[in-house]
């Protein structure tokens, strides 16, 4: 009686255990990612020929303690390898596990190889050659946490999930044994089977192989064990002959019962690949593959009960994820509307995406697609009740999400004429209008940025997540933007310069237009994009007010106000900010507006507060939009705009020419200008907050503060 170990992906141990039991294997024992069993040589043949779930089947030869490389070498060299195979056979070693003495799997494999070939040489035999890819014998060694080495030979010699019918695969193909597990967990008593996103056809081919009793190893070459002395070629051919007869009979029965397998995919090339793979599997007579998008999915046999088995894209980037919300919603809608009374099995790494199907799951299974922990949910499909004459909707939203959708569409209608008239490419379409959907949504060209505000602690995390998904889905649909053009950021309460901290680095920039100027925006890397669209009227006013004047932009950020000043004919433009990154963007903003660097266009990297006290330059027009609060390490003191604005304006007055003008703004909610103190500095104060409040930012009126401060010529 031989001892074997069959490995499999995590989550498939139960399926593999039951399968091996049905094949006559004995003494089965489940472990993590595998099942051990015993049986005669035929049991090993049957396992590699018929197992749909195993990754490899190993014939166990020995176990021994191997705490270090010497123990490993001695244990391997003690085994009678010359009795198992001949010296002219090529070998390869697959080594897994590490210990204190063997910290590298490559080193472990090297020691095993040395021990094997040295054994042959010491007995006067020729030295076996190593062939990593096409070895006759694959030796498998696993070192566990207790420092025990399990030594065996791979019965087939390569991964069993490779069925050999896949001439080509898609960009993220399912392994065949995972596809077989999905099929096994699905309803398999239907008349028809369908995959609306079939890719290379793996799921449908695995389903057809199971239903036709076709052994998954039928197309493979001889097993690796054929090179061993114990191999029985007659027995192997007997097993193959029985498998061929069963497959031939099973396919004929499916054809006689008119069981069909329908595969659709939006990519014509994948449809051709699926057809080729089905042909290589010998199942093309059962298969129909066509090019079709999910939104156009129809029932090819309306009177039949279907089993729908599919592996939609998961979306590892959030932008793709946004697009997939609509895809999954559309899929669920088509299934309800076209396949009522049928069954579905859908696998995904995202529970949120599966929730967009709006189907009630019968069962849920955990499976691993590589390293991804995935959910497989099975469903009984029931039609959606609609009133007579009503067109079924393509996306079902909760009542709250419907309210959000209606509000967003209303905002867009109200803003459309304004946006077109002003020819804006950066604007706000929503700002926490509804308490349950607490976010700001801004448009930049054909991109939208959703800035989610921090939810109150009273809101459960799963509910906050669902509301965000609602906003992503609705925004994508309302704007008709591609899903990867919807960008989501979380804007919690900010302190100091945290709003400027880098997020995931993308370095993707684009330009948007505003009142004749072009500005660079970076939608991915920071919470803020490089353009404060709420200050567009302030910038426009600057452009209209500075002709022939020397202009200073303090706390300049990316220099957008400097661009408008230069375009407006300012005699000189000086841009001051502490950040080298933002000053570089300011230079680029000037460049793309064809404003050449010169003695009259200066960029100064400095702490603005310190620079104000030290500079000898004077200016006709100074724009200052200081931070609400700053405690940057590069500043000598902290700054609070409410506490320190008079000190700031006093320093500004020192460098302002007689008759000069200051445009002072800030966005601190509840800010109060100390008008009497400002007037004592010699300024005439004019509040222009309402005049410079953009229509799409009217909800932020309580934090939009702008004044003209004019210094008399006699001052």
pLDDT band at 466 (very low <50, low <70, confident <90, very high): confident
Of the candidates 27, 114, 28, 102, the residue with the CA atom closest to the CA atom of residue 77: 114
Q: What is the pLDDT of residues 140-156, one digit of tens each?
A: 999 998 999 999 999 98
pLDDT tops 50 at residue 206: yes
- Pairing between β-strand 550-554 and β-strand 619-624 as defined by DSSP bridges: parallel
Task: Tell me if the pTM is above 0.75.
Answer: no
Q: What is the pLDDT of residues 581-606, one digit of tens each?
A: 999 999 999 999 999 877 799 999 99
pLDDT score recorded for residue 397: 65
What strand order describes the sheet that includes 705-711?
601-605, 572-577, 550-554, 619-624, 656-666, 705-711, 683-687
Q: What is the mean pLDDT of residues 266-278?
A: 95
> Any idea which fold 531-711 has?
Rossmann fold (3.40.50)
pLDDT score recorded for residue 495: 43
Residue ranges covered by each domain of the chain: 2-154, 176-215+248-380, 399-493, 531-711
Of the candidates 22, 61, 311, 355, the residue with the CA atom closest to the CA atom of residue 173: 311
pLDDT band at 273 (very low <50, low <70, confident <90, very high): very high
Q: What is the pLDDT of residues 312-328, one digit of tens each?
A: 988 654 446 777 888 89
Looking from the CA of 20 toward its CB, the CA atoms found within 13 Å total 32
pLDDT score recorded for residue 171: 66
Give the Cα separation of 59 and 136 in Å (integer). 15
Mean per-residue pLDDT of the chain: 90
pLDDT score recorded for residue 399: 82
Residues contacting 420, CB < 8 A, separation 6+: none
CATH numeric code, 176-215+248-380:
3.40.50.150
Determine contact, residues 425/513, Cβ cutoff 8 Å.
yes
Q: Can you spell out the DSSP letters for 40-65?
A: -HHHHHHHHHH-SS-SEEEEEEEEEE
Does the structural domain 2-154 have CATH classification 3.40.30.10? Answer: no
Give the Cα separation of 450 and 442 in Å (integer). 7
The superfamily (CATH) of domain 399-493 is RNA methyltransferase domain (HRMD) like (3.30.750.80)
Q: Residue 287 has which token pair?
A: 């298969």
Same fold, 176-215+248-380 and 531-711: yes
Q: What is the pLDDT of residues 282-315, one digit of tens each?
A: 999 999 999 999 999 999 999 999 999 999 988 6
Decide: helix, strand or coil at residue 353: helix
pLDDT score recorded for residue 461: 82
């Amino acid at each position: 009686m031989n001892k074997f170990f069959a490995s499999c992906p995590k989550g498939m141990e139960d399926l593999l255990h039951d399968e091996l039991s049905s094949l006559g294997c004995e003494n089965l024992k489940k472990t993590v990612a595998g099942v051990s069993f015993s049986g005669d040589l035929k049991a090993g043949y049957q396992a590699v020929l018929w197992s749909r779930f195993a990754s490899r089947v190993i014939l166990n030869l020995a176990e021994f303690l191997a705490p270090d490389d010497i123990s490993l070498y001695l244990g391997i060299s003690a085994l009678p390898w010359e009795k198992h195979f001949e010296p002219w056979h090529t070998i390869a070693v697959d080594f897994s596990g590490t210990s204190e003495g063997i910290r590298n799997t490559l080193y472990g494999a090297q020691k095993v190889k040395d021990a094997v070939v040295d054994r042959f040489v010491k007995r006067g035999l020729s030295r076996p050659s190593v062939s990593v890819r096409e070895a006759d014998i694959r030796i498998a060694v696993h070192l566990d946490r207790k420092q025990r080495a399990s030594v065996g030979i791979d019965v087939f010699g390569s991964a069993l999930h490779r069925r050999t019918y896949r001439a080509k695969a898609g960009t993220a193909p399912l392994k065949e044994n995972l596809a077989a597990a999905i099929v096994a967990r699905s309803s398999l008593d239907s008349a028809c089977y369908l995959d609306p996103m079939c890719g290379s056809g793996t799921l449908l081919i695995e389903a057809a192989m199971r239903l036709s009793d076709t052994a998954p190893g039928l197309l493979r070459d001889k097993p690796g064990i054929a090179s061993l002395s114990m191999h029985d070629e007659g027995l192997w051919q007997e097993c193959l002959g029985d498998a061929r007869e069963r497959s031939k009979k099973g396919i004929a029965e499916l054809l006689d019962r008119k069981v069909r397998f329908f595969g659709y995919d939006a990519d014509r090339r994948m449809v051709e690949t699926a057809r080729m793979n089905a042909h290589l599997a010998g199942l093309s007579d059962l298969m129909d593959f066509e090019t079709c998008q999910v939104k156009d999915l129809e029932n090819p046999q309306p009177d039949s009960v279907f089993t729908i088995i599919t592996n939609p894209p998961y979306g590892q980037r959030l932008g793709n994820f946004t697009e997939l919300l609509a895809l999954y919603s559309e899929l669920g809608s088509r299934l309800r509307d076209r396949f009522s009374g049928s069954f579905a099995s859908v696998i995904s790494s995202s529970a949120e995406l599966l929730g967009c199907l709006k189907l009630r799951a019968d069962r849920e299974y955990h499976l691993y697609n590589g390293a991804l922990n995935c959910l497989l949910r099975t469903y009984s499909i029931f039609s959606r009740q609609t009133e007579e004459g009503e067109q079924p909707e393509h996306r079902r939203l909760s009542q709250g999400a419907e309210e959000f959708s209606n509000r967003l569409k209303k905002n867009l209608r109200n803003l459309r004429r304004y946006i077109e008239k002003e020819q804006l490419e950066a604007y706000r379409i929503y700002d926490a209008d509804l308490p349950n959907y607490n976010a700001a949504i801004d448009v930049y060209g054909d991109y939208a940025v959703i800035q989610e505000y921090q939810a109150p602690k009273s809101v459960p995390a799963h509910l906050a997540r669902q509301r965000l998904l609602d906003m992503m889905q609705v925004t994508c649909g309302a704007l008709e933007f591609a899903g990867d053009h919807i960008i989501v950021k979380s804007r919690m309460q900010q302190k100091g310069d945290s709003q400027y901290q880098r997020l995931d680095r993308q370095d993707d920039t684009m330009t948007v237009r505003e009142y004749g100027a072009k500005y660079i925006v970076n939608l991915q890397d920071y919470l803020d994009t490089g353009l404060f669209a709420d200050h567009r009227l302030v910038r426009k006013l600057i452009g209209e007010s500075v002709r022939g004047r020397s202009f200073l932009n303090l706390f300049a950020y990316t220099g957008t106000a400097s661009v408008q000043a230069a375009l407006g004919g300012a005699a000189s433009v000086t841009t001051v900010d502490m950040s080298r990154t933002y000053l570089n963007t300011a230079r680029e903003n000037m460049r793309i507006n064809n404003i050449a660097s010169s003695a009259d266009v200066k960029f100064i990297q400095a702490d603005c507060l310190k620079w104000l006290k030290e500079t000898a330059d004077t200016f006709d027009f100074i724009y200052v939009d200081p931070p609400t609060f700053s405690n940057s390490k590069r500043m000598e003191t902290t700054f609070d705009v409410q506490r320190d604005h008079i000190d700031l304006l006093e320093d500004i007055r020192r460098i302002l020419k007689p008759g000069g003008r200051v445009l002072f703004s800030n966005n601190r909610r509840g800010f109060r200008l100390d008008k009497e103190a400002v007037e004592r500095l010699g300024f005439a104060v004019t509040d222009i907050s309402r005049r410079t409040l953009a229509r799409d930012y009217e909800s932020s009126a309580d934090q939009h503060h702008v004044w003209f401060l004019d210094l008399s010529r006699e001052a």
